[in-house]
């Protein structure tokens, strides 16, 4: 397939289209995903191409959407459901935690749930509360769920294809502010395996560990740092659960310093887990305590204030400056 310049939203749409064409058991449903094509147009044209039985609207009832997907997955389908916005998924939380995550264990492996829960998440679009949450920590804390989040157009396509093919439930976190980011990609190239991180930039002085919407900010910070004479590695997790200790720890051991960058609030979060894992596994390689740059521990602020809430280049560089360079 030739290289083409497309947006992340178009890549996700193509991934759904290709998966539905390849496997008749793949169905897509949720609020306004049918004729409208979804609020973010991720399902644009799927109903017209595959019919109302393969891509259809549901009532505004997230628990019902996920519960129906559980039943369909138990009976041989591969449902993909959309939670229209991050916080809209909370009414479905009981279904996800009590049934989606536990079915395999509950049935001693006899019943698997090959289903994907797509969740547009994060800030950066001027949304209000319920429209800008970073909810990945709730799902990452729940055994039985796989949690992935792309940061590039190519990964958006590849990871969604892998998620749909996965034998167990996947929570697929889509960074809203990257929906319109465009890249020159070849969707025919091999896709990453779920559970593998990637080094986006090499540097010898410190490692920035990021995922989803925080990755472009980390890369921009690394570019600014390089202009100032400091070389930073940037690791894109791609997969929050399972976590790629091998790639992350190898990068941290090479540099001896690390900063975790995430949009979610810091307390009891995925970023907390990363700091704990890196500290436990890389302790003797660390020249300074691992730092974090996250959102503050407050409800998501109004649109005009979100720039202060989200990790910025300046906040990342401040954290890097605080890595005890005087001791090196």
Q: What is the DSSP string of 273-289?
A: HHHHHHHHHHGGG-SSP
Domain 198-322 in the same topology as domain 4-185: yes
Q: What does the pLDDT read at residue 293?
A: 98
Question: DSSP letter at 197?
Answer: -
How many beta carbons lie within 10 A of that of residue 326, not counting itself? 6
pLDDT(285) > 90 = yes
Q: What is the pLDDT of residues 130-151, one digit of tens each?
A: 899 999 999 999 999 999 999 9
pLDDT(219) > 70 = yes
Q: What does the pLDDT read at residue 128?
A: 81
CATH architecture of 4-185: 3-Layer(aba) Sandwich (3.40)
Mean pLDDT over residues 295-316, rounded? Answer: 95
Q: What does the pLDDT read at residue 2?
A: 67
User: How many residues comprise the chain?
Assistant: 328
Tokens of 239: 């997969």
Q: What is the pLDDT of residues 146-187, one digit of tens each?
A: 999 999 999 999 999 999 999 999 999 999 999 999 999 988
User: What are the residue boundaries of the structural domains of the chain, listed by start?
Assistant: 4-185, 198-322
Is residue 141 part of the annotated active site? The answer reads no
Mean pLDDT over residues 252-264, rounded? Answer: 98
Q: Compute the distance between CA of residue 191 and CA of residue 155 in angstroms, rounded to an integer.
A: 7
pLDDT(328) > 70 = no
Q: Compute the distance between CA of residue 55 and CA of residue 325 in angstroms, rounded to an integer.
A: 55
Burial 61-85 (b: 16+ CB within 10 A, else e): ebeebbbbbbebbbeebbbbbbbbb
pTM of the model: 0.96
Q: What does the pLDDT read at residue 94?
A: 96
Parallel, antiparallel, or unpaired for β 182-185 and 4-7? antiparallel
Share of the chain above pLDDT 90, in %: 91
Q: Compute the distance between CA of residue 183 and CA of residue 195 in angstroms, rounded to an integer.
A: 23
Cα-Cα-Cα-Cα dihedral sign, residues 104, 149, 268, 232: positive
Give CATH for domain 198-322: 3.40.50.920
Q: What does the pLDDT read at residue 102?
A: 97
| Mean of per-residue pLDDT scores for the chain | 95
How many beta carbons lie within 10 A of that of residue 278, not counting itself? 23
Segment (H or E) for 81: strand 78-82
8 Å CB contact between 177 and 124: yes
Backbone angles phi, psi at 244, to 5 degrees: -90, 80
How many beta carbons lie within 10 A of that of residue 317, not counting itself? 19
8 Å CB contact between 278 and 258: yes
Mean pLDDT over residues 259-275, rounded? Answer: 97
Task: Choose, from 3, 130, 131, 284, the residue flagged as catalytic.
Answer: 131
8 Å CB contact between 185 and 3: yes
């Amino acid at each position: 397939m030739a290289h083409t310049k497309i947006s992340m939203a178009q890549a996700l749409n193509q991934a759904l289209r290709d998966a539905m064409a390849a496997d008749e058991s793949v169905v897509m449903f949720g609020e306004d995903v049918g004729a409208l094509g979804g609020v973010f147009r991720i399902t644009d044209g799927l109903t017209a191409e595959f019919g109302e039985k393969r891509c259809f609207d549901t009532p505004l009832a997230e628990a019902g959407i996920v519960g129906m997907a559980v039943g369909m997955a138990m009976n041989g389908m591969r449902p993909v459901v959309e939670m229209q916005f991050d916080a809209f998924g909370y009414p479905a939380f009981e279904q996800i935690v009590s049934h989606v995550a536990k079915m395999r264990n509950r049935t001693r492996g006899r019943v698997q749930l090959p289903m994907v829960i797509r969740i547009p998440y994060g800030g950066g679009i001027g949304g209000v509360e319920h429209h800008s949450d970073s909810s990945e920590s709730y799902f990452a804390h729940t055994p039985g769920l796989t949690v992935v989040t792309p940061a590039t157009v190519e990964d958006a396509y590849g990871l969604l294809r892998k998620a749909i093919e996965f034998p167990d439930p996947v929570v697929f976190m889509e960074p809203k502010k990257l929906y319109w980011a465009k890249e020159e990609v070849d969707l025919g190239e091999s896709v990453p395996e779920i559970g593998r991180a990637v080094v986006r930039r090499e540097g010898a002085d410190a490692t920035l560990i990021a995922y989803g919407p925080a990755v472009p900010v980390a890369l921009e910070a690394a570019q600014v740092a390089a202009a100032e004479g400091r070389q930073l590695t940037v690791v894109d997790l791609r997969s929050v659960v399972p976590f790629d200790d091998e790639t992350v720890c190898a990068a941290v051991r090479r540099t001896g310093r690390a900063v975790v960058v995430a949009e979610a609030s810091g307390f009891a979060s995925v970023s907390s887990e990363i700091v704990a894992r890196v500290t436990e596994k890389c302790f003797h390689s660390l020249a300074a305590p691992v730092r974090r740059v996250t959102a503050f521990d407050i409800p998501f602020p109004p649109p005009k204030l979100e720039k202060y809430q989200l990790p910025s280049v300046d906040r990342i560089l401040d954290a890097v400056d605080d890595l005890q360079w005087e001791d090196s």
